[in-house]
Chains A and B, each alone.
Chain A
Amino acid sequence: MKEFITIDLERCTGCRNCELACSTVHTESFNPKRSRIQILKEEVRNLVVPMVCLQCETPLCQEACPTGAIVENEHGILYVKQETCIGCMNCVTACVYGGIAIDPKTKKAIKCDLCNGDPACVKACDYSAISVAATKPEGLHQRRMAVSSAFDTLGMNIEEGQE
């Protein structure tokens, strides 16, 4: 069963500890700009927008990669093979969710690999806003509900529909 990260905006305080935790695990440093999870904020409207790979079933990033650098690991999670990536940014352009980015230091693509099943960001979130959900209707529903407050803020309605 595939899994992905969901973030409950009702609980998220925008403290960005997840970014720090992610960067310590993946870069051995405290460097939020190199984190695989990014918390964007728009203070004027009190909008917090977490950006993290949705672990798509039809990954546009993988399709767009000219060198085949985006491959599954032993847990079936797509990750970016750093030695194969040429930093062309095709994947970044292809992903409409902002789930893959370029590492400012290595200039290669980075995305969430779920830390081999035990994500650092989940452990680091003191507000229990981040969790791992399974790719089932319940999990998908959880992900959608978790961001509904941002849609409210933006005045957008999301209809109930098939997940």
Chain B
Amino acid sequence: MTFPYKGYAGYYLDVDLTKGVVHKKEMEKEWARLYLGGTGVSSRILWDRTTVKTDPLSPDNVLIVGTGPLTGVMFSPSGRMMFAGRGPLTGVWAESHVGGFMGPEIKYAGFDFIIFNGRSPKPVYLFLRDGKAELLDASHLWGQETNITTMMIREDHKDPSIETAVIGPAGENQVLFGGIIVDFYRAAGRAGLGTVLGSKNVKGIAASGSLGLEAYDMEKYLEANAREMERLDDPIWKDSLASLRKYGTTDLVAVINEIGRLPTKNHWTGFYEDADDIGPEIIAEKYRIAQEACYGCEVGCKYIIRVKGGKYPTEPIGGPEYETIMAFGSNCLNNDIESIFHLGKRCDLLGLDTISTGKTIGFAMELYEKGILTKKDTDGLELTWGNSEVQAELVEKIAKREGFGKILANGVRKAAEQIGGDAWKYAIHVKGLEASGQDPRAHQSIGLTYATNVRGADHLRSISCIEELGYPKIAADRFGVEKAQAILEIMSPKHKGEVVWDVENLYALVDSAVICKYSTMWPPVFYFDTFVNVIPALTGMVEWGDEKYVRTAAERISHLRRAFNHRIGITRKDETLPPRLLSEPMPTGPAKGGLPDLDIMLDEYYDFRGCDRETGYPKEMKLKELKLDFVIDELKPKGMIR
């Protein structure tokens, strides 16, 4: 074996689905050295293996399953994995991350990455065990919901320790926002990558491994790891971590409503009067039965609920995250929390992204209110605000692509095109991805995050929580004392270009390592120095002990993902916000009157990113500095380099 680095399993799988052949290959040294893992490595693979012409749902697209060096090696929030491909909902860069136990299991089974190419002639799933991988028949699993699928796979192999990542009927039926469900109720939901798997006739992957992982210097790594974990004990994080442990992400319903940033009534406003009905306290008191955690995580934000009686009783299931409560709750004016539990559960079982599903239903409800849609269009359903029964029916219809669900299954951008008229005005998306649960009219920098996020309107590539949670010391440490005050002003665009550039770089590494946003984003505990401390001892890549090298790698990954989008045709004009969020002042709540100053922030962001202000294209000097000459070679003749 010539792959020299530890912490990695050392192999990846190149799966030719069309021929039904699995090739086991040694990991590429340069992938680790220059891109670390996860998102970084995926950016290189996707650049190399797709073209501007690749149709996301054709056999030409590739679907990457990725882990990182920190996956499964006891670094606290690191039980994670990721998926990447060209997205069917947006047509651009798509990646989606998920926690649980599957990521580490893939590595223990002997693999860091899986690349699915082509299309299988019949339904299959990929089974991994101890260095071996095979495509197995999945015709008995096709059509099954995600929990049943996992139970059937475990039964097939008579092994309850098998972990899975599977799609549900939504991904099979080519709903454009079908997700991938891991370990029963964790979702790599966003951007439709489950649908890409479905288009390839792949029901999922299953893994069980006992190969284990080594460290380059175990003693040194465990010491470095312990030092990093001590940072979590700093009293300044006490409140944020305590709330995550007690409420999970449901606490955000209360915290975010308080600052007027909770998407309400299809993003009409950012303040929901009935937020308490769907908030953290009622969930913790009445429904929560246990705390859960991903592999080796000491944050432990996951929680289990049970509902006895009522219209939607349920046995223990993973409770909904903030985003799910927002999408089906405040965003649709539904204050019935038990119905939201039900909707979240159905999305997990059907393999639907809860954000896009809830947001698309909210969009349809507004069109119904405005008279753009009538009962004639909606199979007779009354899409009145807060109608949870109709929401529940629509979820099933979307997953089956049945009746009116056929239009909604395309997401808001395409649905608006199909419906026509003024419908586009109410489609809240960027690059085709439905907005997640933030509102830039109450938090300037999130506007820039939405606009520049390579996968579309969502917070996870670069949201800054420094100003949201108010950490003056962190602002000063990271950006200098003189800038700290302005940075902490949530409604000031000042320095936000720099802040978003910085966190986008940071999260590029977080997503490559692959670790969690909780403890890197909220609260912002780990920073670039974390990678400097742990990566060399774990992997033996000495260059990662130099912070400048680490930051350069972060920029490289960020640029390569952007270049992927430029090649498809994305420019500054696409890095914008939907009209409502850009020009309708916040009508009610604590952030009343707020609007994002997007252009100011974008200019500053492009300057820091090393891009041209007019087009957003990268500058040749910058790409050279990042050793992205192969990008220059391809984009320069197309006039996409400045």
Contact = CB atoms under 8 A, between A and B. Distances in A.
Interface stretch (B212-220, B273-281, B419-427, B559-567): B212-220
A28 B214 contact: yes
Nearest to A126: B298
Contact of B212 (A14, A27, A40): A27
A74 B479 CA distance: 56
A115 B184 CA distance: 34
Interface string A1-41: 00000000000011111001101100111111110000010
Given A23-B212, A44-B315, A13 B291 contact: yes
Contact of A28 (B184, B218, B290): B218
A126 B519 CA distance: 15
Nearest to A11: B291
Nearest to B300: A13
B480 interface: no
A42 interface: yes
Contacts of A58: none
Nearest to B222: A24
Given A15-B300, A44-B151, A31 B213 contact: yes
Contact of A16 (B147, B295, B300, B304): B295
Contacts of B73: 20, 30
B298 A33 contact: no
Contacts of B76: 126
Contacts of B292: 13-15
A32 B108 contact: yes
B108 A31 contact: yes
A17 to B, nearest CB: 4
B362 interface: no
Given A17-B74, A20-B74, A46-B290, A33 B108 contact: yes
Interface in B589-610: none
Interface string A73-116: 00000000000000000000000000000001100000000000
Given A30-B72, A44-B151, A46-B304, A17 B298 contact: yes
B293 interface: yes
Contacts of A159: none
A34 B101 CA distance: 16
B294 interface: yes
A34 B210 contact: yes
A17 B300 CA distance: 12
Contacts of B211: 31
Contacts of A29: 212-215
A145 B291 CA distance: 19
Q: Is the interface of B mostly helix, strand, loop or mixed?
A: loop
Nearest to A47: B316
A151 interface: no
B351 interface: no
Contacts of B214: 28-30
Interface string B295-316: 1111010101010000000011
Nearest to A9: B290
B209 interface: yes
A42 B304 CA distance: 13
B316 A46 contact: yes
B296 A17 contact: yes
Interface residues of B, number: 40
Contacts of A118: none
A23 B160 CA distance: 20
B460 interface: no
Contact of B289 (A14, A46, A104): A46
A96 to B, nearest CB: 19
Given A17-B74, A21-B74, A24-B222, A104 B296 contact: no
B217 to A, nearest CB: 11
B458 interface: no
A24 B302 CA distance: 26
A43 B298 CA distance: 20
B183 interface: yes
Contact of B210 (A44, A105, A126): A105
A42 to B, nearest CB: 7
A60 B304 CA distance: 37
Contact of A43 (B184, B289, B294): B184
Interface in B397-456: none
B212 A45 contact: no
Contact of B101 (A16, A24, A28, A31): A16
A15 B611 CA distance: 43
Contacts of B79: 15
Given A17-B74, A46-B304, A31 B212 contact: yes
Interface string B23-37: 000000000000000
A45 B214 CA distance: 34
A24 B215 CA distance: 10
24 contacts: A13-B290, A13-B293, A14-B293, A15-B292, A15-B293, A15-B294, A17-B74, A20-B74, A20-B296, A21-B74, A24-B74, A29-B215, A30-B108, A30-B215, A31-B213, A32-B108, A42-B160, A43-B184, A44-B151, A45-B316, A46-B289, A105-B210, A127-B293, A127-B298
Given A13-B290, A30-B72, 19 more contacts: A15-B296, A15-B297, A15-B300, A20-B73, A20-B74, A20-B295, A24-B218, A29-B215, A30-B74, A30-B212, A30-B213, A32-B104, A33-B108, A34-B212, A44-B147, A44-B316, A104-B210, A105-B210, A105-B212
Nearest first, the 7 A-B pairs at minimum CB distance are A31-B212, A126-B298, A46-B316, A33-B210, A15-B293, A104-B210, A13-B293
Interface of A: 13-17, 20-21, 23-24, 27-34, 40, 42-46, 104-105, 124, 126-127
Interface of B: 72-74, 76, 79, 101, 104, 108, 147, 151, 160-161, 183-185, 209-215, 218, 222, 289-298, 300, 302, 304, 306, 315-316
